[in-house]
Amino acid sequence: MSKSIIILGIESSCDDTSASIIKDGKILSNVIGNQKVHEKYGGVVPELASRAHLQNIIPVVHQAIEESGIDKKDISAVGFTRGPGLLGSLLVGVSFAKSFALANNIPLIDVNHMQGHILAHFIRDKNGNGNPPKFPFLCLTVSGGHTQIVKVNDTLGFDLIGETIDDAAGEAFDKSAKLLGLPYPGGPLIDKFAKDGNPTVFTFGIPKVDKLNFSFSGLKTSILYFIKKQTKENPNFINENMNDICASIQHSIINILMKKLEKASKETGIIEIAIAGGVSANSGLRTRLKEMENSHSWETYIPPFSYCTDNAGMIAITAYFKFLESDFCDQSISAKARMTV
């Protein structure tokens, strides 16, 4: 029997410090250390994020190895997020991974965070069960920093066919939430209030953007003016209408996303459709995608909640596929804040 491939994955691109062990494509552990420190600032503070990563990284890696039940000496390679992300945050993960590889004399594998979000669909559970999309498929990757439509040709072949020209979908959620006085990250809170609201009470326009690209900055501005106008007339407007406002904002963001995803499917003829990234945890988006499956004969793929937001499982699975291709990097590698998929 050939030797098992055991990957330690490290993720530190934004405000989550995470480590995961994947053995032959099956996930054995996925530990995430969240950073509460940013809540009161209404967004991630880069300097505080890198300091928190420094504090978290060793305990998080230790816990991931312990929970997996494997022996540290059996790890075949270490995969880490090279970018895109916050440079100071990335540097913590990159430096740790390099030292770990050197100390244990194992190969080092650099991973693109956006590819990781997409390949999270290929993570199998401990028993080997999973539901990966079939190639080629389209993936709508929606996170706090990115909004992209990617044509995925195989595990390591990606064509970026559409992206945002300004804010990301996650930013649209978070910035709208901030206008409503909600703490960071506001996306999950908008989702929560929207569940009890009517999405058609307030309407916000859909931007006209070329090709398969997106724009969310206009939506943010129209929400800002709408809130200003309404609270001038009724200072309690937000509190009295929170559910309907959140449902209407969420509805508008989902409409913008779905319109372009529908266009991408029509233009490419691809009906295998996946979503990925933090915003794919949104219940409204998940429901709408399932509705599209019926109305458009799509085959849709939604990752489990734990693989939507940033986690090292998605980095470990990408590193696993690169390991199979002997696609390693050396110690001269550095973090890269800006990278395309």
Measured CA to CA in angstroms, residue 151 lies from 84, 143, 148, 272 at distances of 19, 17, 10, 10
DSSP3 helix / strand / coil % (the chain, rounded to 5): 45, 20, 35
Residue 282 touching ligand KG4 (CB under 6 A): yes
The Cβ-side half-sphere exposure at 231, using a 13 Å CA radius, reads 14
> Contacting ligand KG4 (CB under 6 A), which of 278, 303, 335, 341?
278
Q: In the bound complex, which residue of the shown chain has the CB atom lying closest to ligand KG4? A: 278
Range in contact with ligand KG4 (rule: CB under 6 A) among 72-80, 139-147, 151-159, 329-337: 139-147
User: Which one of residues 123, 310, 319, 320 is an interface residue with ligand KG4 (CB under 6 A)?
Assistant: 310
Give the pair of three-digit tokens for residue 38.
């940013």
Residue (76 or 88) nearer to ligand KG4, CB: 88
To which H or E segment does residue 18 belong?
A: strand 16-23
Least distance from Zn ion to the Cβ atom of residue 310, Å:
4
In b/e form, how buried is each residue of 52-76, taking b as 16+ CB within 10 angstroms?
bbbebbeebbeebbeebebeeeebb
Task: Please report how close the Cβ of residue 247 comes to Zn ion at its closest, in angstroms.
Answer: 25
Site for ligand KG4 in 146-205 (CB under 6 A): 170, 173-174, 185-188, 191
In one-letter notation, the amino acid at residue 329 is C
Instruction: Note whether 277 binds ligand KG4 by CB under 6 A.
Output: yes
Q: Which among 90, 87, 92, 75 is positioned nearest to 24, based on CA atoms?
A: 75
CB of 224: closest distance to ligand KG4 in angstroms?
18
Considering only 143, 252, 265, 280, the residue that binds Zn ion (CB under 5 A) is 143
Among 6, 7, 10, 14, binds ligand KG4 (CB under 6 A): 14
- What is the number of alpha carbons within 13 Å of residue 290 lying toward its C-beta? 9
CA separation for the pair 84, 143 (Å, rounded)? 12
Using CB under 5 A as the binding criterion, the count of chain residues that bind Zn ion stands at 2
Give the CA distances from residue 3 to residues 6, 23, 281, 322, in Å, rounded to whole numbers and listed in that order.
9, 11, 36, 17
133 forms part of the interface with ligand KG4 (CB under 6 A) = no
Residue 171 Cβ vs ligand KG4, minimum distance, rounded to whole Å: 6
* Residues in touch with ligand KG4 (CB under 6 A): 14, 143-145, 170, 173-174, 185-188, 191, 277-279, 281-282, 309-310
* Residues in touch with Zn ion (CB under 5 A): 143, 310
